[in-house]
Every structure is written in structure tokens, then in C-alpha cells.
Structure 1
Amino acid sequence: MKLFCRIILAAAMFSTCAWAQPGPAAQAQQPWWKGALFYEIYPRSFGDSNGDGVGDLNGITQHLDHLQQLGVDAIWITPMYPSPQVDFGYDIADYQAIDPQYGTLADFDRLLSTAHQKHIKVLLDMVLNHTSDKHPWFVASAASRNNPKADWYVWNDGVDAHAPGVTPFQQRYVHDGKVPPNNWESVFGGSAWQWVPARHQFYYHRFYAQQPDLNWRNPVVEQAMFAAIRFWLDRGVDGFRLDAISTLFEDPKLHDDPQLPGTNDQGDPNLRSQYSDNLPEVHDVLRRMRAMVQSYPGDRVLIGETYTPTVAELQKWYGRQHDELQLPMDTQPGFGDGANFSASWFRRALQDSQQIQGEPLIVFDNHDNTRSIDRFGDGQHNLARAKVIAAVLLTTRASALTYYGAPIGMTTATPTRKDDVRDPIGITGWPKEKGRDGERTPMQWTPGFQAGFSSAKTTWLPVNPNYPDVNVQTELAQPDSLLNWYRQLIALRKSEPALHDGAMQFLDNGNAKVLVFRRQGPEPVTVAMNFSDAGQPLSAAIAPGAVSTLASTAPELAHASSLHGVSLPPYAVWVFKPAAHPAAPGTP
């Protein structure tokens, strides 16, 4: 429940909101993931150790020193299991092995051991909703209606093509006089039902046709998937990011989803996924999964891919007894509808995040969305704005999730020709939907050949042409680079108790240009961010006494001793705390 409080300061113009936090005794026992910085790695694009143009596990291991120096607490590796790579690993053919293009189980064990030596946790992506159509389970299930795995997936006879109520959309998919049983659509376009002649039935696929949905109403399926989770827990992984977790169950009566006005980028009717997503049964599964994971030592963690319209909906993913996900992703600040680069937007979104009864997990970038430096950029001040976004991510009371390349300002390199697209959704949706290749290009390590990612002449996706300037090596040598700004904020996040554990107190809530909040504690830390392209004055009432700068993107604020007469430069961030030795009365 949201707790409001109001404090009237001297100028009677600053409203303050704070949320209670655990006391010192509780904080001392907090799990490692509370307040942690997670770093998503797309293995195809992070580091190529064998020169074949595709990243691999050894390539990740080779760059762990960089992640340690950056200050990362945990890495999340997107699927590296055996896969036909239709959806680049999210179509899994074996949950208990490594795809040969990424290496071997021995390579994974070495990666895990090396990461742990460097105090970096390792999380894997677990895809529970569907498998590849090449998985032995589905091959068996699709062979007949009476094999041992016949009901491991969602099958249906369909309906007569001329039955009352059949829609024109369904009639596009006629097979032997039958059409899909309802209007459900694949996220990637077309009907979510695929015909299999051997069974004379349709199977359901929420995503690509090559990704058939598992039947989670069959308890044997749950047992098999939990066994896959235990396989990796037994090897020592520290947790999982659960892909598309809301989609595990569908309405058993197969009601049509309500139709909305217009069509999507694939040309299909817009639907509201009332009966094909976010059904309550998924929470029962999560409680059982959480209990299993908690039976292992070391505070193993479950992160959920949870795109929700409100924090009230997000709250459900923690569980009524906080017995489901420890960290459902709060995508409202970074991806929410109407997200824009303004102090008002972020103030409202962050205030909402602080309503959560549990640890928020803030996300701005991932492998499925245009990079935040482009989404929040204006074409002229993208780098300055990216520094503001970094401050929002790393100084808010929340755990934080970033994505490879974000700390150096990698940009989205969307293909300009359909012939260059690798992502299937970009091929089928072109030109309205250009796919997700742009945010998945190879990591830019150096200004040298192939950005230091690979020795191959051709990489699986081309390296972004801006790599001579945007790369780790170059930015490490530039004191004011985005990378060094990330490093500075991450270090402060670890060294300043208020930035790790302190409640958030929002100040100057009526200011449309500047976002200010204070992280509370014995040594409170205040963060001020200018979201405009003009200097903005700061009232001394925010911090009446002497202050000491901890970090700032504006060099002129490095030695500021108070807020008297201070103007926050365009797109500037200023992080400060009370000075250790307050200035004498009257001292400016």
C-alpha cells in the first residue's frame, strides 16, 4: 500500500514522499540480489573466442574482468542450449546441454567457476512456455495421438470451416475442412495454431510455429521442466530469468480473445489476450518453483519477464506471501506506455515503483527493444540523456538490470534492407516491423578489427559502424565517457549505504524540468537531474546546509559546497550529500 506523507519546508514548495525500509538488523540479513546490478549477455554477440563470427561461452569468460571492474553483481545469459536457432536460442531442443556453437558443458562450468571467483553470480534464461519443434518431446508428441507424450503440448481438432461464428481470420487457415479453434494469434504474426497432418490436429504456439506451447495442465510436464531447472541448480547457477512467464496457461475452453480496433504490424487484427495470457494458474506453478529453488543454499533468485500495465499488476508476481518471484521486472520507467524523456514522467514512474511491497527491479534495455539511448534520445543530446538514464537506473531504490553495450552507449543498428534482416519477425513484418537485429549487434570492445568482438571476416550480425568511437577501450581512456560515468555511479552504489538501502524521498515535485530525490540514511544522498536543454536553478531549500559532491556530469559542480546560487546545467546530474564539516553560518 502506498504511504503518503507531506513535509513543509521553509519555502513551503517542496513535497516529500518516503517509503519505509527494513531496519539495520533486517538489512544485515538481506540476500545478495537485493540492490544488485544484473547485466544481460546475449551470447551470440558478446565475445567470439574461436573466430567463427558467433559469440560463445569462452568469449564471455574472457571478458569477466571487464564486468568485475565495472562492478556487475550478476550476469544473465540468454539461452545457450541446443537449438535450431529459429528464435536465436529461445526455441530450445535440449534443456540440459550446451549448443555446440557456444561451447560445451565443460566451458560452461569453467565460466561459472571463474565468475564465482570474481564474485559475479550467474543466471540462466529458462524458457518454460514452449520448446523447439525439434525437441524430442515434440517430435514424439506430433507423431500420433496415442504416444506417451501425446498430451505434453496443446492440441486441438479445430472446428468446421463453415461453422457459425468462424471469423475470416480463422478461415485463412483451412486444413482438411478444419480451421483453428479460435482467433488466437501468434505474437510473431498469423494464427497461433499450426496443423499437423500426422495427428490431424492443430497445436498451439504463442510465438513462432517452431515454438509449440507445452501443456502445463499435464503434471508430468511440470515435473520434466522442474528437472531441467534442478539440473542447472545442481551445477551451481545462482538463479534464472523466466522468459514469457505469464504465458504458461491458456483458457481450457479456448474462448476467443476480444478484438480491438485496427491491425498490428503483421496485418492481423489487434486482440486483447484475455484468454491466452496471464491466467491465474501460473501463480501456483511459481509458488512450487520458488519452494524448490529455495531448497538450495545461496539465495538463488527468480527474475520474471513481466510486462505489466501497472505496478498493481506487477505486485501479483511477488505472490501474496512473497513466495513467487523475488524480482519481477518493473518495465514501467523504461518501457511503459507513454514513456518519454521528462522529469514528470520519471517522477511518476519511480514513485509508482516505490509502492511495490518487495524489491523493485528497474529495466531500461534488453534484447527485444530498441536501445534506450535511441528511445530517449533527441538526435542531438543522446549521450547527455543516456547519462541521465544511467543515474535513474543506478541511484533509484531498486535492483537494476542493464544490457551489454548500454554502459558504453551502443546504439540500435536497424537493418535498412529486408535482405539484411536475420530476425524472422523482421522478415515477415517488413517494413513496419524491422525485427530486433538492431539491438543485438556485436559488443564493441576496441576500435580495432570487428570492434575486438571477433577475428572473423564476417560476423553473424555486422558490427555497428560507430565502433571506432563507441567502444570499451576508447571510453576507458576518456574521463567524461558514458562508461566511466557508469563505473562511478556503480561504485557509489556500493560505497554509499544510502544509495544501496535508503528509502526514496521525492523533493520539489512540482518541478517539470528537474527530478530530485533523496536516498535516506545516516548520511543521506541527494540526486538532482535536469531533463531539459537549459540550465535550471536549484532552491537551497532542497539542502540548506553545506554539501559535498559525490558525482556529477557537470565539471562546474565538482567543488560546489552548497546549493546557494547553483544552476543545474542542461541535462546535468548532480549527486551530493551533506558535507562532513558544515560551513559556518553565512558562508556561501
Structure 2
Amino acid sequence: MGLCLAAGPGRTQQAPAKSPKAEHAPEKAPDPWWKHAVIYEIYPRSFQDSNGDGVGDINGITSRLDYLRELGIDAIWISPMYPSPLVDFGYDVSDYTAIDPLYGTLADFDRLVSEGKKRNIRVIMDFVPNHTSDQHAWFAESRSSRTNPKRNWYIWRDGKGSGEPPNNWQSWFGHSAWKFDPITNQYYYHHFYTEQPDLNWRNPQVRNAMYDAMRFWLGRGVAGFRIDAVSRLFEDPNLHDDPILPGKNAYGDPNIAHKYTDNLPEVHQVLREMRSVVNEYPGDAVLISEADEPNIAELTKMYGSKNDEIQLPMDFQIADVNKLSAPDFRRLLDEIDRNPAGGQPHYFFSNHDQPRQWDRYGDGVHNDQIAKLMAALLLTTRATPLMYYGEEIGMRTTDPVRKEDVQDPIGQLGWPQEKGRDGERTPMQWDTSKDAGFSTAERPWLPVPPSSAEYNVKAESQDPNSILSFYKRLLALRRSEPALRDGKYLPVDQGNPDVLSFLRKTPGKGDSILVVLNMSAEPRTVSFALDAHGVRETTAKPLISVPKIARESAVLAHFTVPALGVFIGSVH
């Protein structure tokens, strides 16, 4: 697949000896695999059903590894598959060292990892450390009595009296974050659903138990973890009220600033400990953090002061730009590229909690073209890109139209004003057969969108102008061009604010890659002077362009980029 994967973990590149001095010169250590990888998120319920029960599973994922290899994927991050009551579809874990029978067995998982390795595709687990299910054996013990040895594994407090919770902290899903438990007449804290009690990360026993769970999966060959809700691991032990802000939220509660329940400094010690755990194993295992930080400065802290915490913090700043805005994207690209930690950026535009990019950026007319534009942005920066299953075929957010079809608790509680997150979790669209090739069940867990008749892997594989074909060309170019793998990101000005442009430049004499993205619905003329960046030629050779450019070169001093157009060219 990529350069690092071909070399394999831990292998060094040997340069030819030209002189005794060269023989003894220290070799540059190879980059870790995750720096150049393309990671692909799979929502397991929705990717491929192998046994006809209407729900995707592990063997279904294994059966599609060849597709992922052909696409150009280096690693898959799979949303939780642990045993779970499924209140939050796996993010309420009842056992951290097992597989939910709904998805298969540990043997199935081991086979997935093994088959992935044969194809140079690594497997990344979703790890949920902030909370467990209320059905977890730990919580059953903890709630049984105030003197139980596991009582302090969770956060229990007395109320204020007269039925009031300990303070004003709010759940992510509305109302108080405290749930009264009549078994022991105390409240437990839950940042998310009441069925998801928060673990007490100030307790060393909790930390050790969770680190052992990580070791369990690392020992089975996983390549790392995406760590869920990492910024919420700690709360103020003194239970100060969060500051109240003007207005009310969608649940009718007063708005608050989560000053005492989010991003507390103690998080960073835990991240260093997690990094130490993965470093116990060979292969450059990666930690990816879900940390919806308020700004780039806070995001940068996730790398650690010595780059000893998270290798790939998910950049929600760029993902939350919900419109085509070249100035906004350029500002954020520049900020994260200059992060003081020198860390590797990690970009994405869609995930299982966020409407798909086809809809978020589309204008209702040129959505396919805009999907290609966003693909070019994602796959040409120096960041490690994260794709979401189906975005490569232009899957769209398809919200339920009937309440009886709603699966997400958010939608069930808030219907019809709140549709929930089902729309971005619909089954993968493989072909035009029943249920788009996802399942043979009479009724899959979510309805297959009508758009599957046109937007599916089989149809788009046969169309050179499809979104899928464009992704394949982009991913192949990313593998073949050293500047796209290893080059620096250099913003370049061309006189038009609607156009985002930058160079990817490698040290030495190799060609650089010029990326020009027109985010306007009108053609834009641009002019480049790149001599300050060491570019001597006055033309660029097109490598990928949409719409396709027929001529063999583009004059840098004056050329027009079509509306919503993409130009990727080599310059020397």
C-alpha cells in the first residue's frame, strides 16, 4: 500500500555505502506507519451482514477487505463491538475483553486481524474509557453497597437534600448528569446517558483495569485505539457548579459552560500512561483521540509537551466548518500546521455522529462535484486522513421518515424535531440487489436509502467519472507521489479568496505538488509566483483535474479553475 506499510513495522531502510563516512552515518528512522496511512472508519452494524440477521458483523468486514485494499486503505477503525445492551450502540460497554455475539466471536476477530495483515490493512479498536454500561459487572458491584470494594470505581455522591442532585452538571443528552440510585440512596454521575455511568479515573484500580483491557487487544494484534470522549475522563472533585450562560439548550435546560467536567488537566497524565501501554508492544501502535476541542491551542495539548500522549488527535475544528469556505479552511490548515508540538494533523469530514459531507457541503445541484472537491482537500494535505465508510461513493445522510424506523435514542426521544444519527449510519451500498448487497435479511436494521440505486460500489466501479473512481485515482496518486506522502505543506497565495491553494514540497530536487481548489460556484482565474518556494518552471503538469483539463500544462501566471474545480499538478 504505502511506503511505510511496504517496509513493515520496525524495519529500517539501508542506504548504499558510498564512503567509510557514509557507512557509519546514522540512518534516519522510518516514519511510523500512521503518519502516511489512510484510515477508514467502519460502523460495523452497517458495513456488511454475513449471516442474514440484518446487522453487519465481523465476518462481513473480513469479506470486504479486498475492496478496501483495492480502494487504497491502510487501516480500519471499527466502532465498538464489545458486549453491550446497545443503549448507545456499543458505546455502553458491559465487557471490555470480549466481542458481542451480534458481531461474531473472538475467533472471528482474530481472523479479521490476520486477513487484514495479509493485505497490509491494520485494525484499530474503538476504546471507551470514560464510562461503562450500567450492566457491566463492575457497576453491579459498585451499586450493591456503599462499602463494596468497587464502590469507588464510579462517582457516587450524596444529594443536596430534598431530592436535589449534588450540583448543576448536565448530561450531554440533556438534564442533570446525576442519577439517584435507591439501592444505596446516593447519586452516580453520568456525562452521557443514565445507562452510562462514568468511571472514576482518579482510582488507580480503574486505571490498571482499563490498561489491562488495552493490553488484551494489543496482544491480539490491533494497531491502536481510537479513544472515545477522552476530554471527559475527569471532573472537579469538589463538585463546583458549572457557570451558567444566557439562554437554554435544546432540552430546555439552562446553558452552561462545562468548566468542571471537560478538559481538566489530569487527562494528560492518563494519556501519557496510555501511550506507555501501547509502547510496550512492537509495531508503532497509534492512539487517536476524540477530543472536540474549542480551538487549535487546546487541540495541540493532546500531543503532549514531549509528544508523549496522542499521536493523532481528531481535528474537529476543520470538521466543523459546515460550508465551502476557502478562507476558513486555509486559516485552520495553517494553524494546525504550525502547532507548537509539531504533531501530525488528523483530518476528517464525516463520522457516525455527524451528517455526511455529501449533504453538509453540497448545494443540492453540484453535490457530486463538491464531494470530489472535499475528497481532494482531505487527501492532499500532510494530515493523516480519516474517511468514513461510504463517503467514497457519495453516500448521503438519509434520515428516517417514520418514527418506527428510528433506532437512535436521540431520535426516539426527540422525534420529529430531532431525527437522531441514523441518517449517517445507513447500510453500505454495494450494488443494486436487494438491500444494496448489504444483507439478505427481510428487513435490515436501518432502511437502505433509495439513492443506492445510483450510488453504489458496483455501478461506480464501472464509471470512470464517478466519485468512487475519483477517490481511487486520488489515493493512488497519494501513494505514488513522494511530495504527497512526505512533503511539507506550504500555503501559496494566488490573489483569489475563493480558491484554496497550497504546495506539497519535499526536500531536495524532486517535483512539488500544487493543489488548487475552487470553492466558488463560478470559475476563478488565479496567478501563481512560486519562485520563492524553489519552483523554477512557469507551468504545472496536470495530474488530476476536475473537470478534466485537456492541455498538457497550465500556465502558473494565469489560468482559470472551473467552478468547484480541482487541479492537482506537478511543478519543478
Check whether TM > 0.5. Answer: yes
Counterpart CA distance in 1 for 2:494 and 2:416 is: 42
Counterpart CA distance in 1 for 2:355 and 2:187 is: 34
2:529 corresponds to 1:541? yes
Counterpart CA distance in 1 for 2:168 and 2:177 is: 8
Map 1:386-397 to 2 at 5 A.
386-397=371-382
Counterpart CA distance in 1 for 2:328 and 2:391 is: 21
Counterpart CA distance in 2 for 1:558 and 1:279 is: 56
Query: Which secondary structure state, in structure 2, belongs to the residue aligned with residue 426 of structure 1?
Result: helix
Q: 336, 349, 352: which is aligned to 2:332?
A: 349
Q: 563, 567, 572: which is aligned to 2:560?
A: 567
2:328 corresponds to 1:340? no
Counterpart CA distance in 1 for 2:69 and 2:266 is: 39
- Contact 2:529 2:557 (8 Å CA) reproduced: no
- Contact 2:188 2:197 (8 Å CA) reproduced: yes
Alpha-carbon distance change, 535 to 215 in structure 1, aligned in 2, over 3 angstroms: same
* Aligned match of 1:284: 269
Encode CA deviations 1:531-556: one digit per residue, 9 max, x unaligned.
11111112253575233211111123
Q: What code does the residue aligned with 1:108 have?
A: F
Encode CA deviations 1:332-367: one digit per residue, 9 max, x unaligned.
12214xx42021121112111211221000111110
Identity %: 55
Task: Give the Å deviation of 1:26.
Answer: 8.0
More deviation in 561-570 or 430-439? 561-570
- Contact 1:42 1:440 (8 Å CA) reproduced: yes
* Aligned match of 2:6: none
Task: Give the Å deviation of 1:414.
Answer: 1.1
- Contact 1:185 1:191 (8 Å CA) reproduced: yes
Query: Which secondary structure state, in structure 2, belongs to the residue aligned with residue 33 of structure 1?
Result: helix
Query: Which secondary structure state, in structure 2, belongs to the residue aligned with residue 66 of structure 1?
Result: helix
* Aligned match of 2:407: 422
Counterpart CA distance in 2 for 1:429 and 1:208 is: 14
Task: Give the Å deviation of 1:41.
Answer: 0.4
Where relative contact order (Cα < 8 A, 6+ residues apart) is larger, the structure is 1
Query: Which secondary structure state, in structure 2, belongs to the residue aligned with residue 351 of structure 1?
Result: helix
Q: What code does the residue aligned with 2:569 have?
A: F
Counterpart CA distance in 1 for 2:557 and 2:295 is: 39
Q: Which runs of 5+ in 1 are unaligned?
A: 1-23, 162-177, 580-588
Query: Which secondary structure state, in structure 2, belongs to the residue aligned with residue 467 of structure 1?
Result: helix
2:77 corresponds to 1:76? yes
* Aligned match of 1:297: 282
- Contact 1:480 1:553 (8 Å CA) reproduced: no
Task: Give the Å deviation of 1:527.
Answer: 0.5
* Aligned match of 2:484: 499
* Aligned match of 1:44: 45
Q: How many residues align?
A: 538
Alpha-carbon distance change, 140 to 97 in structure 1, aligned in 2, over 3 angstroms: same
Query: Which secondary structure state, in structure 2, belongs to the residue aligned with residue 340 of structure 1?
Result: coil
**RMSD across aligned positions (CA):** 1.6
* Aligned match of 1:228: 213
Query: Which secondary structure state, in structure 2, belongs to the residue aligned with residue 374 of structure 1?
Result: helix
2:547 corresponds to 1:550? no
Q: 233, 243, 250: which is aligned to 2:235?
A: 250
Query: Which secondary structure state, in structure 2, belongs to the residue aligned with residue 401 of structure 1?
Result: strand
Q: What code does the residue aligned with 2:329 have?
A: F
Q: Where in structure 1 do 4 or more consecutive aligned residues deviate above 4 Å?
A: 24-28
Counterpart CA distance in 1 for 2:463 and 2:136 is: 48
* Aligned match of 2:259: 274
Q: 430, 452, 465: which is aligned to 1:480?
A: 465
Q: Which runs of 5+ in 2 are unaligned?
A: 1-24
Counterpart CA distance in 2 for 1:205 and 1:47 is: 33
TM-score (norm 1): 0.89
Counterpart CA distance in 2 for 1:327 and 1:546 is: 36
Q: What code does the residue aligned with 2:173 have?
A: F
Counterpart CA distance in 2 for 1:27 and 1:518 is: 24
Encode CA deviations 1:399-438: one digit per residue, 9 max, x unaligned.
1111001111100011234333211112223344321000
* Aligned match of 2:120: 119
- Contact 2:495 2:527 (8 Å CA) reproduced: no
Encode CA deviations 1:169-189: one digit per residue, 9 max, x unaligned.
xxxxxxxxx311011111112
Counterpart CA distance in 1 for 2:279 and 2:496 is: 44
2:175 corresponds to 1:190? yes
Q: What code does the residue aligned with 1:512 have?
A: P
Map 1:296-315 to 2 at 5 A.
296-315=281-300
